[in-house]
Amino acid sequence: MSDTSKRGFASMDEDKQREIASKGGKAAHEKGTAHEFTSEEAREAGRKGGETTSKDREFMAEIGRQGGKHSHRGDRNDKNEQDDNDEEGKGTQGGSREQHAKAGRQSHKNK
């Protein structure tokens, strides 16, 4: 049997697929045959998608990690944000890595 996995629409890059699909959606709306979701249908679809996504524990863990990183960046704007591999030792919540290490050493003295 011949390999058909690299043919047609599926073989195109994602941007090209998105462009073609967008044209089809626009044409369907202009023609009046596109499905318009009601609020209830959209809510149900979102619920089902959430249930499916939440079954993937590793994916959910990654979402949590990303959310945590963003919530601890304070009020820095996009231009001044430091990346995840910050060489200056900052980026942890409430101070630098050095400050956390010092606080850890001090807390062990009190035991």
Closest by Cα among 99, 97, 98, 93 to 71: 93
Average pLDDT over residues 55-77: 78
Q: Is residue 11 part of a domain?
A: no
Q: Is residue 21 part of a domain?
A: no
Q: Is residue 51 part of a domain?
A: yes
Q: Is residue 48 part of a domain?
A: yes
Q: How far is CA 105 from CA 43, 62, 89, 109, 110, in A?
A: 50, 30, 17, 7, 9
Number of domains in the chain: 1
Q: Which of residues 79 and 101 earns the better pLDDT score? A: 101
pLDDT digits (tens, 9 = 90+) for 7-35: 888 889 999 999 999 999 899 889 988 88
Closest by Cα among 109, 81, 86 to 98: 86
Q: Which of residues 48 and 106 earns the better pLDDT score? A: 48
* Domain boundaries, position 57: 35-67
Report the pLDDT value the prediction gives residue 93, as an integer from 0 to 100: 59
Q: What is the mean pLDDT of the chain?
A: 76
85: tokens are: 């591999």
Q: Is residue 59 part of a domain?
A: yes
